[in-house]
Chain A
Amino acid sequence: MLGMLAKLLKALNSESAPGQIALAFALALIIGLTPLTSLHNLLVLFLAFVIRINLSAFFLGIAFFSGLAYLIDPLSVSIGESLLTNPDLQESLTALYQSDFWRATKFNHTLTLGGLLVSLALFIPVLVLSRLLIIGYREKFMAWVEKLKVTKLLKASKFYKLYTAMAD
């Protein structure tokens, strides 16, 4: 975990495209807010492997959003519950339920459906916001931090060498 964090910091401080890190966070959001063993997460995992995103950011994002899910899950469950029990949707949902594929997606599970909808709704905002934050960090905060004396002192320390060794 520490190594992964170091890699993330290195990526933030490197020339990696901010969009690649931001997309990693946004994809992690989906896995973090929905039950891990859902079928759609296999697709997300596939995308994470195939698209050139920062994998450290992706796995750290999963850990972060899984923690956040403890707070969001009740809301996700209630959204899923209200949709799955909505009388107007019963016909469509019953039709989906006849298909083994759709049942394999566990669309009829309140947390899976609610969590997926919440994560999809937050996907673009998380993507945009994290990209902006990374750019902002690199433009203003990183340069400012680099100029600090304490940073220079830290960089000269053995601890920093150890940190960079771990990050590599």
Chain B
Amino acid sequence: MKQWIRLPGLIGFVVTLALLIAFWMLFAGGLIKSAIETFGSDAAGAKVEVESVDLTFSPLGITLTGVEVADADKPMQNLVQMDKAVADLELMPLLLGKGIVKELSITGMAFETARTTSGALAKKTKSAEDVAQEKKDAEKEAKEESAFSSVKVPSADEILAREPLLTESRGKAFQESFESGKTELDEALAQVPDEKSLKSYEDDFNKITKGKLKSLKDFEQRKKALSDLKKRIKADKKAISTATKIVAKTKKDLQGQWQGLKDAPGEDYDNITSKYSIDGAGASNISKLIFGDQAGVWTDKALYWYAKVKPFMGSDEDSNSAQQEEQARSGRFVHFKTSNPLPDFLIRKTRVQLDFELGNLNAEALDITHQQTILGRPTHVDVTGRNLKDMQSLELSAVLDHRTARGTDSFNLAIKDMAVKGWNLGYEGLALKSALVQVNANGVLQQGQLLAEGTGRFNQARFGGKASGGFAKELQKTMQKINQFDVKGEAKGKLAAPKIGISSNLDKAISGAFNQRLKEKKAKLEKDLKKQLNEKLLSYAGDYQDQLKGMDLASGKLGDKQDALEDLAKGELNSWEDQQKQEAKAKAKKEQKKLEKKLKDKLKGLKF
């Protein structure tokens, strides 16, 4: 038995373990710092830097100092930075390989701060796929922007540049048909005999058929010449017939398309006017016009931050096929019901002090993890601020629930007494000089579909502006009488490009003055649209009408030529026998007349 036990091996085992632990304690800080910077940079697409990482063993914890996350879009700016982050870790889960943070306290957290060095990562060589993806992203971004651009009344030029026009598509099709028909017709007409050829046919025909047949051989020769001539006439008749058919077909095609092309500007106009709601009802939504830009900016910001946070919230798309394939090779954890579920990473409680221009906000988040399915609880976020600059209070609560594949995120926002000062409403120099606003909003996002609504109650409103005359002055006057109004907003549809709806009781208050102005705008837009569409039509139609007349003329001439050839083709050569018979007949008749005369003369000499 003794030969099977190796006591020094026990020492070796203990020493190996001790070395591993010592190595970890010595280098853990550096390894964690390096891991945060490397993986963080990959996730953020920009530099993530940590000044220092300190480990404490009683209580077990980790302190990060001077964390900066650069903005991938603006490298000289930090997306977020924090002075200090202290995390209290739970020991037992750590031994199980789980990173469970009991409490995370972040102080000195600020957003969009300036950097002294660029936060851009070293550029990788872009593959064709990357370029294509970037193009897609840019298109997507442009689409998202267009969700807000529709709240303005665009100019005729903008609309015509943006919209696919029937006038253009039909015009191009018409031009193509016209060109191909013309080529076909030119080729066919080249085969048709000209006037000179017709004259020569006539001369040849006369030469063959006129004059006395001298002999049977002469007859045979003429007959053959006539047959050859007829063959040529037959071929030319066929060419004329083909050309006539092509003229008719081209004309018919073009006439059909011409009708469509003529109608296209009208159809385009109808489509555009219905789409852009430039009828009275659509355009009278003044709230959308004057608050649309502001709503767009806010919604953009909210979506931007949501997009930054979402990847860390775990996911509805976890069960993709690549991941399933990976799980089939390297396995997966099967979790069972427990009173103490342990995801791979969890921050039970987070306290953050946010430094904003408007003051300090306190945020508290519970249960931040990318594995809510294991934890069985959603992430709760509460942000509160009191006595802020230009705002009495702000309360935001959000629930990010990704426990099932159909993740649901919801939020509630309440802002009390927000002081609005000098909002340029971006319309005819109109400005909201001051107001106190109460905001209440809520929203739900499920499977990429957003449904959010909010109300802003504007009290003690004072409007003003630099309008010098006309409609703007009239509008300003009307608005100066308003001191309280509500603006309701809603965002519906795909998160990437939600449809923004804004309404307000301002509409009713100033609809009279505004409708008049809108009628003028609408009339001008209609006129511009019609003018430009007609110009487009003319550019495609070109000298079509002249060409059509030319075709008619060509058709008529072809008919004349066909008739002339028909006549020639009907002409026949008398046969040799007929000519002999006719000559014999004529000779007999002459002889008969001669005999009759002789007989008369003899009868006169006889006297009875």
Within 8 A of B (CB), among A54-112: 73-74, 76-77, 80-81, 84-85, 90, 93-94, 97-98, 100, 103-104, 106, 108-112
Evaluate contact between A112 and B331: CB separation under 8 angstroms: yes
Chain A residues near B23: list those with CB within 8 A.
Answer: none
A73-B330, A74-B328 known; A51+B4 contact, CB < 8 A: yes
21 contacts between A and B (CB under 8 A): A37-B97, A49-B13, A50-B5, A51-B4, A51-B5, A51-B6, A52-B9, A73-B331, A74-B329, A76-B331, A90-B336, A94-B338, A98-B338, A100-B92, A100-B96, A103-B342, A104-B96, A106-B333, A108-B334, A109-B333, A109-B334
Interface residues of B (CB under 8 A from A): 3-7, 9-10, 12-13, 16, 92, 95-97, 327-339, 342
Docked complex Cα distance between A143 and B581 (Å): 134
Within 8 Å by CB of B96, from A17, A84, A103, lies A103
A50 in contact with B97 given A98-B338, A110-B331 (CB within 8 Å): no
Q: Closest residue of chain B to A100, judged by CB? A: B92
Q: How far is the CA of A37 from the CA of B337 in the complex (A)?
A: 25
Roughly how many angstroms separate A114 CA and B338 CA in the complex, as a whole number? 23
CB-CB nearest in chain B for A46: B13
In contact, B96 and A108 (Cβ under 8 angstroms): no
Query: For the complex, is A142 an interface residue (Cβ under 8 Å from B)?
Result: no
In contact, B10 and A50 (Cβ under 8 angstroms): yes
A residues contacting B by CB (< 8 A) are: 17, 20, 35, 37, 45-46, 48-52, 73-74, 76-77, 80-81, 84-85, 90, 93-94, 97-98, 100, 103-104, 106, 108-112, 114
Q: Is the CB of A80 within 8 A of B97?
A: no
- B330 engages A111 (CB within 8 Å): yes
B92 touches A73 (CB 8 A): no
Q: Give the contacting residue for B12; candidates A35, A49, A73, A108; CB below 8 A.
A: A49
Which residues from B are CB-within-8-Å of A93?
A: 334, 336
| Residues of chain B lying within 8 A (CB to CB) of residue A94 | 336-338
Closest to B337 in A: A94
17 more A-B contacts (CB under 8 A) besides A80-B331, A109-B332, A110-B333? A49-B6, A49-B10, A50-B6, A50-B7, A50-B9, A50-B10, A51-B5, A51-B6, A77-B327, A81-B334, A94-B337, A97-B335, A97-B336, A97-B338, A98-B338, A106-B333, A108-B335
Complex Cα–Cα for A52 and B9 (A): 8
In the bound complex, residues from chain B placing their C-beta under 8 Å from that of A108 are 333-336
- Measured CB to CB, the closest approach of chain B to A101, in angstroms, equals 9
CA distance A45 to B9 in the complex (A): 10
A-B contact count (CB 8 A): 81
B214 → chain A closest CB, angstroms: 108
Give Cα A85–Cα B332 distance, bound, in whole angstroms.
12
> Is there an interface contact between B13 and A45, defined as CB atoms closer than 8 Å?
yes
Which B residues are in CB contact (< 8 Å) with A52?
A: 3-6, 9
**What is the chain B residue whose CB lies nearest that of A108?**
B334
**Alpha-carbon distance between A111 and B5 when the two chains are bound, in angstroms:** 32
In the complex, the chain B residue whose C-beta lies closest to that of A77 is B331
What's the nearest-Cβ distance from chain B to residue A33, in Å?
A: 12
Contact B95 A104 (CB under 8 A): yes
A24 to chain B, nearest CB (A): 12
Q: How far is the CB of B95 from chain A (nearest CB, A)?
A: 6
A17 to B9, CA, bound (A): 18
List, in ascending order, chain B residues with CB within 8 A of A97's CB: 335-338
A74–B331 CA distance with the chains assembled, in angstroms: 8
- B3 proximity list for chain A (CB < 8 A): 17, 52
Residues of chain A lying within 8 A (CB to CB) of residue B95: 104
Smallest CB–CB gap between B42 and chain A, Å? Answer: 23
Q: Which chain A residues border B333 with CB–CB below 8 Å?
A: 106, 108-110
Contacts of A76 in B (CB 8 A): 331
* Among B329, B330, B334, residue most surrounded by chain A Cβ atoms (within 10 Å): B334
Nearest CB to that of A84 among chain B residues? B334
Contact check, A110 vs B338: say whether CB atoms are below 8 A apart.
no
- A78 to B3 Cα, complex, angstroms: 40
Residue of A90, A98, A104, A114 touching B331 (CB-CB under 8 A): A114
Taken together as a complex, chains A and B put the C-alpha atoms of A110 and B326 apart, in Å, by 13
B329 touches which of A45, A73, A85 (Cβ 8 Å): A73
**Which residues of the partner chain A approach B96 to less than 8 Å between Cβ atoms?**
100, 103-104
- Asked whether A110 lies within 8 Å of B332 as measured between CB atoms, the reply is yes
Which residues on the B side are within 8 Å of A90 (C-beta)?
336
Residues of A within 8 A of B330 (CB): 73, 77, 111
CA–CA, A26 to B143, complex, Å? 63
Question: Smallest Cβ distance from A66 to chain B, in angstroms?
Answer: 13
**Chain A residue at minimal CB-CB distance from B339:** A98
Q: Are B336 and A109 in contact (CB under 8 A)?
A: no
Task: List residues of chain B with CB within 8 A of the CB of A112.
Answer: 331
Are B336 and A50 touching (Cβ within 8 A)?
Answer: no
Give A111's nearest chain B residue, CB to CB: B331
Task: For A73, give the chain B residue with the smallest CB separation.
Answer: B329
Alpha-carbon gap, A147 to B352, bound state (A):
79
Return the chain B residue nearest A103 by Cβ: B96
Min CB gap A100→B, angstroms: 6
How distant is A41 from chain B, measured CB to nearest CB, in Å? Answer: 13
Alpha-carbon distance between A74 and B337 when the two chains are bound, in angstroms: 26
Within 8 Å CB of A37, what residues of B? 97
| Cβ distance A9 to chain B, nearest Cβ, rounded Å | 21
Contact status B13-A50, CB under 8 Å: yes
CA distance A110 to B334 in the complex (A): 7
Minimum CB–CB distance from B226 to chain A (whole Å) comes to: 94
Bound together, the chains give a CA A46 to CA B16 distance in angstroms of 10
